[in-house]
Structure formats: C-alpha cells, structure tokens
Amino acid sequence: MQIPYLVTLTGAPDFPTSKRIAAEVRFASSLEQACGDSGGVVTTYCDAQGYLDARAIEEAASDLDEPDTVWTAALRTAEEAAWASFPRPAGAQFYVRVTVPATVFDLPDGERRVEIAF
C-alpha cells in the first residue's frame, strides 16, 4: 500500500538520524490519530489548503471547526508528540507533503469532498 503523505524533519542537520526518524514517526502517528488515518491526514490537509485559498485566515481563526484550524490543531498535537522524548532542536520544522494525487471538490450544498488516488 502506498503511503499518501510524507513527513520530513528539516532545519536540524546535526540531529541524530535515529532521533529524527523517531520524531518523524511520532509526528505522523499523532497526525493520523488526530485525523482518523493516513487518508484522513490527506483529506484534512487538502481541505485546509482549499479553505485557505478561498477565505481569509482571520475569519477561520475564531472557529475550531473550520478546516484550517482542524489542521492547525492536528499539527500542534503532532509537534508535541514528536518532541515528547527529547528537546526540539533550534530551527527544526516538520513538513508534510501529499504524495498521491488528491483533488478537492466543492459540492453544491456547500460541503467539500476530497478524492485521493491510492
């Protein structure tokens, strides 16, 4: 089965490889727990990106149910999980990249659907 996204820790070139991998795995596991599964990570990511393209960030910041704040909350939780066992190196950042084709559709009833090609 193809993994639909990739998590990469950057900005910490001297961080030991074993700790980098452990942090990336904890980050990804926490994202999946927050979003339901690996497909949920892609869906939430794509929904947040589509939402941010369509509306001002300030409008969404006050409503936790909005897609970008759901994604932001998932990222925050994943960061905490990643650094639970050791201190975060200065400059370290996680990047999430979707690795499968995903398309966001706006439906007539105002809902949004994300199709992921596995």
pLDDT in tens, the chain (118 residues): 567 888 999 999 999 999 999 999 999 999 999 998 988 888 888 878 775 555 544 444 444 455 567 888 999 999 999 999 999 999 999 999 888 776 666 667 766 666 666 5
Structure tokens, 77: 């939780």
Local structure of 105: helix, strand or coil: strand
pTM (two decimals): 0.75
Number of H helices, E strands in the chain: 4, 4
CB hemisphere CA count around 60 (13 angstroms): 20
CB hemisphere CA count around 100 (13 angstroms): 18
Q: What is the pLDDT of residue 89?
A: 94
Q: What is the pLDDT of residue 56?
A: 44
